């Protein structure tokens, strides 16, 4: 079973920007219904990609600095970050195949 890591303002740089594998970041909030609908798809993708992809969640209410730094304006936002740079972005509750299509080029 794939592990989804919770990251914070304090751990974002080490866990995401300096990761040696591509990272899918799920920017979410407790009050966000689309975020809750998206969560099972993110979990399935974490399991599908396994060790080729790190999957993390960042609560924007608890960690506003990173959300602002990454210019996240709406929930949920998914970013694919590879070698410290954003290589993919989707906003809103998206179909799983669309998310997978965004991730696949980054993991090779």
What radius of gyration do the chain's Cα atoms show?
A: 12
| Direct distance between the N- and C-terminal alpha carbons of the chain, in angstroms, rounded to an integer | 21
What is the enclosing helix (H) or strand (E) of 5?
Answer: strand 4-6
Active site residue 90: no
Bridging pattern class, strands 54-59 and 23-28: parallel
In the set 2, 29, 32, 39, the catalytic residue is 32
Cα separation, 98 vs 108, in Å, equals: 16
In the set 16, 24, 25, 35, the catalytic residue is 35
The answer to whether 14 and 93 have CB atoms below 8 angstroms apart is no
Active site residue 35: yes
Catalytic positions are 32, 35
């Amino acid at each position: 079973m794939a592990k989804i890591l919770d990251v914070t303002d304090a751990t974002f740089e080490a866990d995401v920007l300096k990761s040696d594998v591509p990272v899918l970041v799920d920017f979410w909030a407790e009050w966000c219904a689309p975020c809750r609908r998206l969560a099972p798809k993110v979990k399935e993708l974490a399991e599908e990609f396994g060790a080729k992809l790190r999957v993390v969640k960042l609560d924007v209410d608890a960690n506003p600095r990173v959300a602002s730094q990454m210019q996240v304006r709406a929930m949920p936002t998914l970013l694919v970050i590879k070698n410290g740079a954003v290589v993919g972005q989707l906003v809103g509750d998206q179909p799983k195949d669309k998310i997978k299509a965004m991730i696949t080029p980054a993991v090779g």
